[in-house]
Amino acid sequence: MQALEDNRRQRVTRALVQTIDAVIAFAGLANSVPR
């Protein structure tokens, strides 16, 4: 049961990291576009 819980937490963490990376990349892209 503990392994299942760890697995779920790991998947959530990975999804969270990917989302944060996407946001940072998007913010960097938005900042580099001249207005």
Model pLDDT, residue 6: 95
Q: Is the pTM of this model over 0.85?
A: no
Label residues 5-25 b or e (16+ Cβ within 10 Å = b). eeeeeeeeeeeeeeeeeeeee
For residue 30, give the H/E element and its range.
helix 2-32
Over its C-alpha atoms, the chain yields an Rg (Å, rounded) of 15
Residue 5 has pLDDT above 90, yes or no: yes
Model pLDDT, residue 34: 81
- pLDDT per residue as tens digits for the range 8-33: 999 999 999 999 999 999 999 999 88
